[in-house]
Chains A and B, each alone.
Chain A
Amino acid sequence: MKNIYYLLIVLISFSSCKTDKKKDVPNDEIAKKEQVVNIYTHRHYPSDQELFSKFEKETGITVNVVNADADELMQKMTEEGEQSPADVLITVDAGRLVRAKDKNLLQPINSEKLNSTIPKYLKDEDNQWFALTKRARVIVYAKDRIKPEQLSTYKDLTSDSWKGKILIRSSDNIYNQSLMASIIANIGEESAKKWAEGMVVNMARTPKGNDRDQVKAVVAGEGDVAVVNTYYIGKLLNSKDPEEVKAGNGVGVFFPNQEGRGTHINISGAGVAKYAPNKDNAIKFIEFLASKETQEVFAKANYEYPVNKDVKPSELLQSWGDFKEDTLNLSILGKYNKKAVILFDESGWK
């Protein structure tokens, strides 16, 4: 039986070696030596990385980043519990932030700066999360075949005149789930299901590919209109592939529901983790991202709309014109997310 003890000794000495390597330990002594903030983020944009470096330079706080899907990050935080090294959770949609709050993964923070820069409907009522950028889910149309006057609302897309003409991606996609959640919140479950069924009937093809692919399919003539996020149009227009630029130029942007509740918007946003070992740094970090100087770059680099009221969107976005946003409190999106997925399944939206 001696062997078991040897094994244990080896195991323990092995694991104690491990601790030296770990910088993210919420240990007071270490924290004094090196200021860090640990970010769990679903945003994978190179421009973000540059801003993180800027934050490091300005504050001397080291930014550690884990990149993954928001769902996986939340699963990770749940499993890690009190020991989670995460300070800030960043997601690319409101629904996930609400879910993080419901799962008790975030904590309320008190920041004058954030309260004054971010409008009420773009943050959590308990100050557990804050929007950082906005994107609108719009209708794009083939410029050569369709006139913008033919378009009006999301609901109108289910009318007979659009049969076989609509392109939209799979219901797996969170942007579609959030759009559906907003529709459930606005017109009720039953009508929302009818809307989804109507969309399925009118689809030009089984949903596949991503938002960029929907735009390309419009230009290729597979359908006449597509429902996509604004920032993908920006990306197409600035693509390295001349064919993609051509596709971006081939479509016009239409903001639906301008007479009614406004165009559905979604956000990317951030919250401070419940067990954040570096809470102060986390708040500083989010404030930095919402500040005027950062927002100029943060939103523009990715063709998103800034949340800071003092910052104007990029020229391209301005060229599409101002629009009325659906100011539905974004917390609702999280509340109806699961329902949205179930209704999608029932209506046969792949």
Chain B
Amino acid sequence: MPNRHYLKRDFNNWSIYTLAIVIFIAVPILTIFLKLFSGPGETWQHIVKNLLADYTINSLWLIFGCIILTLLFGVSSAWIVSRYKIPFQNTIEWMLILPLAIPSYITAYAYAGIFDYGGSLELLLRKVGISMIKIDIMNIYGLIVVLSLSLFPYVYVSTRAVFLYQSNRLIEASKLLGASEIKTFFNIVLPVARPAIIGGLFLVLMEVLNDYGAAKYFGVNTFTTGIFRTWFSLEEPNTAVYLSALLLLVVFVLIFLERLQRGDKKYNLALKSDIQLPKKNSSKKFQFLLFGLASIPLVFGFLLPFLQLVYWAFLTYSDTISIAFFNTALQSLSISILTAFLTVLIAVMVLYFPKWNRLKFLKDTPKIAVLGYAIPGAVIALGVMIPTLVLDKWFIKTMKQVMNIDIGLIINGTIAILVYAYIIRFLAVAFNPIEASQTKIGKQLSESSKLLGKNNLVTFIKIELPLLKTGLLSAFILVFVDIMKELPLTLILKPYHINTLAVKAYEYASDEQIMEASIPSLLIIVTGIIPIILLNKLILGAK
């Protein structure tokens, strides 16, 4: 039995810890996959016959449209701010990340409010004496635009980092060889930035496929609205899980296609001490043109919806602001901070434990960490509840037998399960920036430390942790902002006495009090803006 032999030889404590953490992450996801084998419910035929085509076409359109638009907004603005001198350079640079602070369903509501009958646009036009030009944005095209405007910063952030620090030598070389600006951009800059762009695009797509609120309000039936409909209106969770599996399949096909097209080409040029090219100076007119171009996604992705919310808040603040409201804000904040911290901690464990363990089959475990991000929040809630309830019930039984006390549910209905579900959902968001920082550090330092007799943990704390700081902080901030905005999970799993701003906003909105939803939404945005500014400083400060 050679296998056994290896097992014995390579087994160390880290293998146990790795295994523990794999179980921790994989159980909810496995629960969902196991549901697949119980077969789809009886309405599956009905869905295939009447709805599936609609869901598929709409979802594909959304994906396609959002890819084009987020690329356009994200890459062009990243290119402008990293290569050219423009007025208000620094302000524009960090403000372009702000659309991320508004939950996309809130952006959708705000836009509906702007273009609505009696909406802000009409009021404005009336003031200048033009009668209403009715623009209907509540359809799939409107949805594509709104989602792209609120999600393009994912592409912008990752692309700008590359434009700033990685492609400069190549750009110089290309110029020296006489290539034009445009040719350099398409032949050199874009291919080098491609992995970063794709990384950002991947996050965009996950968010698009996960969107429920905006699509539902705009009356566009997608896979995700379909999942909710089959689960709740048709009462068939099994069929709903089937639909989410199909959704996952779409995601995997997309990833596969990208890999296929990229082929073996690798542009990872490990250029050290990258030089930052001086930004190009151009005529005043051209500068203002570029400024205008870079501001478009900012104005439409952030300023306009923000102003609409401020207007609504102005109309309704007297009814919505109370002490209880500030309490909610505080709870929201503390849950997000606590969970973001834990998520980062676990992301670090997921990254390092498998490295320190010597068993081969456990080395690849980080890959499962990203899966949670691809699964809709409501489905994750189900995946988390089922196994923890089994555990809860077992605890209750044993405690009754052993100590004769009834302890009740200790995981479900407490904050523990909510935090657990958040971690599963957002682990990928934390994992990516940490992994990126870790790759930059390289192995030499930690290996020298180990040669000098320090163990894994000491090496990590003394050597790698300080170097990982940027990655860790970025991870923390991204997860923090995501949790502040999170809705479906929170709705299902939150315990009594706990309320979040996102839930509060949803309560108002679901009761058609969209104006009243503006104040909690604004608070989500404001608490999101501060860490986002911080994040920007980090990216610029990082080398």
A24 touches B512 (CB 8 A): no
Contact partner of B494 (CB less than 8 A), chosen from A66, A69, A217, A241, is A66
Chain A window 228-255, contacts with chain B (Cβ cutoff 8 Å), 1 for yes, 0 for no: 0000100100011101101100000000
Contact residue among B43, B315, B495 (Cβ-Cβ distance under 8 Å from A342): B43
Are A206 and B408 CB-contacts (below 8 A) given A7-B20, A342-B43? no
Minimal Cβ-Cβ distance residue in B for A71: B232
Q: Fill in one digit per residue for A208-229: 1 if any B CB lies within 8 Å of its CB, else 0.
A: 1111110011011000000000
Report the bound CA distance from A172 to B119 in whole Å: 25
Contact status B512-A79, CB under 8 Å: no
Selecting from B82-90, B283-291, B334-342, B392-400, the interface stretch reads B392-400
A18 pairs with B413, CB closer than 8 A: no
| Complex Cα–Cα for A246 and B122 (A) | 14
Evaluate contact between A24 and B511: CB separation under 8 angstroms. no
Contact check, B408 vs A24: say whether CB atoms are below 8 A apart. Answer: yes
| Residue A19 is within 8 A (CB to CB) of chain B in the complex | yes
Give the contacting residue for B408; candidates A26, A205, A219; CB below 8 A: A26
Known contacts A24-B408, A338-B235; A170/B491 CB under 8 A: no
Q: Are B123 and A72 in contact (CB under 8 A)?
A: no
- The answer to whether A209 and B217 touch (CB under 8 A), given A7-B20, A80-B412, A240-B515, is yes
> Nearest-CB distance from A178 to chain B (Å)?
12
Other 4 A-B pairs with CB < 8 A, given A67-B503, A345-B51: A18-B410, A22-B408, A22-B413, A208-B139
For the residues of B in contact with A, the DSSP-based class is helix
What are the residues of chain B within 8 A of A346 when measuring CB–CB? 46, 50
Q: Contacting A79 at CB < 8 Å: which of B46, B385, B494, B507?
A: B385
Q: Is A118 an interface residue (CB 8 A)?
A: no
Known: A240-B319, A241-B118, A247-B118. A25 touches B232 (CB 8 A): no
Q: Do the beta carbons of A246 and B118 come within 8 Å of each other?
A: yes
The CA-CA distance from A22 to B414 in the complex, in Å, is 7
Q: Is the CB of B513 within 8 A of A206?
A: no
- Contact of A172 with B512 at beta-carbon distance under 8 Å, contacts A18-B414, A19-B410, A208-B139 already known: no
* Contact across chains for B407 and A19 when beta carbons are under 8 A apart: yes
Chain A residues near B235 (CB-CB < 8 A): 99, 338
Q: Is the CB of A72 within 8 A of B494?
A: no
A99, A212, A220: which has the most chain B beta carbons within 10 Å? A220
Question: Complex formed: what's the CA distance from A211 to B411 in Å?
Answer: 39
- 8 Å CB interface, B301-358 against A: 312, 315-316, 319, 324
B463 at the interface (CB under 8 A from A): no
Interface residues of A in 15-52 (CB under 8 A from B): 15-16, 18-19, 21-27, 38, 44-46, 49
Q: Which of B486-526 contact A (CB under 8 A)?
A: 491-492, 494-497, 499, 503, 507-508, 510-513, 515
The answer to whether B112 has its CB under 8 Å from any CB of chain A is yes
23 CB contacts below 8 A, A to B, read A3-B13, A15-B410, A19-B408, A21-B414, A22-B414, A25-B406, A44-B510, A45-B511, A64-B496, A68-B491, A71-B233, A72-B492, A75-B492, A79-B385, A81-B393, A83-B408, A172-B228, A207-B219, A209-B219, A213-B112, A220-B134, A247-B118, A345-B51
| Interface range, B side | 35 or more
A-side contacts of B491, CB under 8 Å: 67-69, 72
Residues of B within 8 A of A219 (CB): 117-118
Q: Which residues of B contact A15 (CB under 8 A)?
A: 395, 410-411
Complex Cα gap A170–B228 (Å): 14
Known contacts A80-B409, A338-B235: A66-B496 contact under CB 8 Å: yes
Within 8 A of A (CB), among B354-380: 378
A341 touches B497 (CB 8 A): no
Query: Is chain A's interface secondary structure helix, strand, loop, or mixed overall?
Result: helix
- Of chain B, the residue at the smallest CB distance from A14 is B416
A239, B46: Cβ atoms under 8 Å? Answer: no
Return the 8 tightest CB-CB contacts between A and B, nearest first.
A208-B219, A243-B118, A220-B117, A71-B232, A44-B507, A25-B408, A64-B496, A240-B315
B225 within 8 Å of A (CB atoms): yes
A4 within 8 A of B: yes
Residues of B within 8 A of A241 (CB): 118, 312, 315, 515
CA distance in complex: A38, B413 (Å): 12
In the complex, whether B94 has a CB less than 8 A from a CB of chain A is: no
Q: Which residues in window 72-92 of A have CB below 8 A to B?
A: 72, 75-76, 79-81, 83, 85
Interface residues of B in 225-267 (CB under 8 A from A): 225, 228-229, 231-235, 237
Is B16 on the interface with A (CB-CB < 8 A)?
Answer: yes
**What separation, in Å, do the CA atoms of A216 and B123 have in the docked complex?**
15
1/0 per residue, CB under 8 A from B, across A315-350: the answer is: 000000000000000000000011001100110001
- Contact, CB under 8 Å: B232 / A44: no
Tell me, in angstroms, the Cα distance from A328 to B136 when the chains sit together: 39
In the complex, how many angstroms separate the beta carbon of B417 from the nearest chain A beta carbon?
Answer: 11
Cβ of A332 to closest chain B Cβ, rounded Å: 17
Question: What is the 8 Å Cβ interface bit string for chain B, positions 188-204, against chain A (1 contact, 0 not)?
Answer: 00000000000000000
Whether the Cβ atoms of A212 and B316 lie closer than 8 Å is no
Closest-CB distance, A293 to chain B (whole angstroms): 24
B138 beta carbon closer than 8 Å to chain A? yes
By beta carbon, the residue of chain A nearest B488 is A72
A272 CA / B406 CA spacing, docked (Å): 22
Residue of B nearest to A208 (CB): B219
Cβ contacts under 8 Å, B229 to chain A: 172, 341
In whole angstroms, how far apart are the Cα atoms of A21 and B50 in the complex?
A: 49
How far is the CB of A270 from the nearest CB of chain B, in Å?
A: 17
A18-B416 CB under 8 A given contacts A79-B386, A342-B46: yes
Q: What's the nearest-Cβ distance from chain B to residue A219, in Å?
A: 6
Question: Once the chains are docked, how many angstroms separate the CA of A174 from the CA of B316?
Answer: 28
Whether B389 lies near A67 (C-beta < 8 A) is no
* Set of chain A residues within 8 Å of B116, measured between Cβ atoms: 213, 216
Closest to A46 in B: B319
B183, CB-defined interface residue at 8 Å: no
A278 close to chain B: CB less than 8 A: no
Question: Is residue A65 within 8 Å, beta carbon to beta carbon, of the partner chain?
Answer: yes
Is B168 located at the chain interface by the 8 A CB criterion? Answer: no
Q: Which residues of B contact A68 (CB under 8 A)?
A: 491-492
B319 & A208 in contact (Cβ 8 Å cutoff): no
B410 close to A22 (CB less than 8 A): yes
**Chain A residues near B136 (CB-CB < 8 A):** 205
B221 at the interface (CB under 8 A from A): yes
Q: Chain B: which residue is nearest A245 at the CB level?
A: B118
- Does A83 contact B139, Cβ atoms closer than 8 Å? no
Residues of chain B in range 134-152 having any CB-CB distance to chain A below 8 Å: 134, 136, 138-139
Residues of chain B lying within 8 A (CB to CB) of residue A153? none
Task: Report if B382 contacts A (CB, 8 A).
Answer: yes
Closest chain-A Cβ to B497's Cβ sits at a distance in Å of 7
Distance, CA A38 to CA B119, complexed state (A): 40
Q: Which of B467-498 contact A (CB under 8 A)?
A: 491-492, 494-497
Say whether A210 contacts B492, CB under 8 Å: no
Across the interface, name the chain A residue whose C-beta is closest to B391: A15
CB-CB under 8 A from A67, the residues of chain B are 491, 499, 503, 507
